[in-house]
Structure 1
Amino acid sequence: MAMFFEEISTDIEAYCKKLETLFKKNGPINERVALCAGMLRKIAATPKEFDKSARLNVKWIGDELRLIVLDKKIDDVALHDLCQYLSRIARESNLRSPYKAKSPELDLLEFFDYGKEFDNLSDKENSDFIWASIPKYIATDYLEGVSDREKGFLSAKDDWEAVLQGYKATIDSYVSTLKEQRGKFNFVYLSRAFHEMHSEKKGELQYAFFSMIFLGMVVVMPLVYQFVVGGLITTNDGSGFSYVETGKILSLLGLEVALLYFFRIALKNYYSVKAQLLQLELRLSLCGFIESYADFAKSRKTKDVDPLSKFESIIFSGITPDEGNVPSTFDGVDQLLKIAKEIRAK
């Protein structure tokens, strides 16, 4: 029924031409013919508008109206019914329009004016219907439309919520994955930092080792020069050490003490760097399975409040030299001083 008037617009034009042939006849029927012809011509001019604005009456009386138009009925009964049908269409169309009624709708509505005296009961019932009942039906139609739109909105809202919940679940999974990846990358960056420190300390250890070897050779070289290259230190008469030779020996011992001091510093530095390397290697090893340990601790439900606290205390603690096994810088110096005093006493 949505395309009712548009489908029969051509038939309406043909029917209007046949109605105009009745104007030459005299009688009360001519007024109804003029009202019907004017309304039908307006409908034929804008059929889409009346399909929309008179949809209730199209549904109620569309079939009867079609039969009159297609069969081109012009008898008194058909014209009487046609006039009533068109008055209903005019009334509904006018109520759905924001403008006041104009001709030909106004002419039809005035013909069936409310409270008017009619010659027959059918016209009076039609007048009561178009003025009292049609507004109620139109209001009901609007409310049903609002209700249908509300249901459609609620249904669409539920669909949107379901879609949004799906999007939220997907986004939450992405966020969880990103957090996990971020944690892994943090361990990667931490491990990389330890690797860089380890590489630096390896170079430093190599430098400390060669420094220690060099200073060890320097400590030995004066003794080798004095006792191997320079020969034994004796006086001309063989009676003992002279004061000059004693001074040389004391100078040599002082030089050896100083060189030994620096050698011990180099030795201490070597052991210190080595201890730091061991600590860095421990941290690198922990970074390799710290995440697996955390998952394992959670799965076993350990009593520790924070299963990573022990790892954190190691990984994020300062890297300090372990001096426990390194000899003190001046170990043995007292013994050298005693030897020097004994030589000087002789």
Structure 2
Amino acid sequence: MEKIKNLAASIENHASFDYISKLAEQLIWFVDQNIELSRAADGTIFFGDHRTKIESILELTPFKIGHLEDAHFCSAKFLRELSYGSSHNYNDSEIVLFYLFPEFRQIDYKKVDEIRFGIPVALILEPQIKEINSTHSMLKKVEAWEESLKQWDVRVKQSEDRYQGVIDATNYLGLGNAFDKMLQEKRRERDGLRSNLTKVGLITLVIPVIFLLSGTSNFIQSLFSDDVKTSVSSISTFVFSIALEALLLYYFRIIYGQWLIAKKHVLQLSLRHEMCAFVNEYAKSAKDMDRTTLSKFENLVFSELSADLNAPPSVYDAVDSIAKVISSLKKPES
């Protein structure tokens, strides 16, 4: 109050003396009041906030006209809000009427609008404002959920890509496993044919070795001997040996041909097994690639195994060859 009085006394010759003195008079009345006030809804917070604002202005040093105006407006605002939020009614007090019905041109009309309309509208619309704030808070949560959903969408797409990668890998493993099984079977077949080829070849060599070890000269002499019994026995042995040798050579050729086919099949299956590594890219690019390129790839991987070897002679061919050998031996010398 001393600050306010000193400020009012120092402006006796000021052009706005009436305006400033009215401010000082009403503010002194406000500060000098000693009344018990109550506000049910938010009393503690309400009184504490307004008291802090008014005190902070009044304690400024040096105390100027602008500080007087601010303290006067805060005091009027306090009484105006108190009149709407409690059983007290200070709307007819001079400090509030100073803004409701302004008489001085020095009054800031923003303050007039705040006292006239701002405070009533804010208090009347307070429930709606709470709803709006609640809705705004909910919208913020929805936006946060949308952002979270976007992140989950990205994660789901990443999971789908990983799952698709697992499916592609499974398809590749399935196709590769099928070729691996065929490879194992063909390798066993190839190894078995090679073993049989070796056995037949060794047996084929046994007959000439036996003749060499038994002595060919005695055998040839008994073959052309005058003794019919000995000659027939030698001829029979010789013919049987030739037939057996020809039969062994025939089967040797068959087994050898089958062994070559098995080797070629193993080579083709190995190539196709390696080409399975490109099946994923092939599946992805099949829609956009040229059909000619795709047909070449499909023919390489999914076509039948080829042998491309001449067919072995039939049994009749072998018998016919043996008969020709025997008949050439029986022809008399010219």
Matched, 1:218 2:206: yes
State the match for 1:271 in structure 2: 257
Q: Following TM superposition, by how much is the alpha carbon of 1:145 offset from its aligned partner in structure 2, in angstroms?
A: 1.9
Paired letter, 1:174 = R
C-alpha separation between the residues in 1 aligned to 2:38 and 2:329? Answer: 151
C-alpha separation between the residues in 2 aligned to 1:262 and 1:245? Answer: 25
Aligned residues: 257
SS in 2 for 1:234: helix
Paired letter, 1:140 = Q
State the match for 1:336 in structure 2: 322
Q: Following TM superposition, by how much is the alpha carbon of 1:333 offset from its aligned partner in structure 2, in angstroms?
A: 1.8
Matched, 1:313 2:313: no
Q: Following TM superposition, by how much is the alpha carbon of 1:140 offset from its aligned partner in structure 2, in angstroms?
A: 0.6
C-alpha separation between the residues in 2 aligned to 1:239 and 1:306? Answer: 72
List runs of 5+ in structure 1 lacking aligned partners: 1-29, 52-56, 72-80, 91-107, 113-117, 123-131
C-alpha separation between the residues in 2 aligned to 1:284 and 1:65? Answer: 90
Q: How does 1:83-94 map to 2 (within 5 A)?
A: none
Greater displacement, 176-185 / 208-217: 176-185
Paired letter, 2:312 = V
Change (3 A) 1:82 1:174: closer
Change (3 A) 1:84 1:172: same
C-alpha separation between the residues in 2 aligned to 1:297 and 1:154? Answer: 43
Match of residue 324, structure 1, among 307, 310, 317: 310
Match of residue 302, structure 1, among 291, 294, 318: 291
C-alpha separation between the residues in 2 aligned to 1:297 and 1:137? Answer: 66
Matched, 1:152 2:155: no
State the match for 1:285 in structure 2: 271
Q: How does 1:221-232 map to 2 (within 5 A)?
A: 221-224=209-212, 228=216, 230-232=218-220
Matched, 1:63 2:50: yes
Q: Following TM superposition, by how much is the alpha carbon of 1:239 offset from its aligned partner in structure 2, in angstroms?
A: 6.7
CA RMSD of aligned residues (A): 5.3
Q: How does 1:1-346 map to 2 (within 5 A)?
A: 33=36, 36=37, 51=45, 62-63=49-50, 136-175=124-163, 177-178=165-166, 181-182=169-170, 185=173, 189=177, 192-193=180-181, 196-197=184-185, 199-224=187-212, 228=216, 230-234=218-222, 240-289=226-275, 291=278, 294=282, 301-303=290-292, 308-314=297-303, 317=304, 324-337=310-323
Q: Are the counterparts in 2 of residues 276 and 320 from structure 1 also a CA contact under 8 Å?
A: no
C-alpha separation between the residues in 1 aligned to 2:288 and 2:227? Answer: 81
C-alpha separation between the residues in 2 aligned to 1:190 and 1:322? Answer: 24
List runs of 5+ in structure 2 lacking aligned partners: 1-33, 59-76, 94-119
Deviation by residue 1:111-130 (Cα, 9 ceiling, x = unmatched): x8xxxxx9x968xxxxxxxx
Change (3 A) 1:215 1:267: farther
Q: Following TM superposition, by how much is the alpha carbon of 1:157 offset from its aligned partner in structure 2, in angstroms?
A: 3.4
**Amino-acid identity (%):** 8
C-alpha separation between the residues in 2 aligned to 1:37 and 1:327? Answer: 123
Change (3 A) 1:256 1:307: closer
Deviation by residue 1:312-345 (Cα, 9 ceiling, x = unmatched): 432xx3x576662423344332343466579899
Q: Are the counterparts in 2 of residues 215 and 263 from structure 1 also a CA contact under 8 Å?
A: no
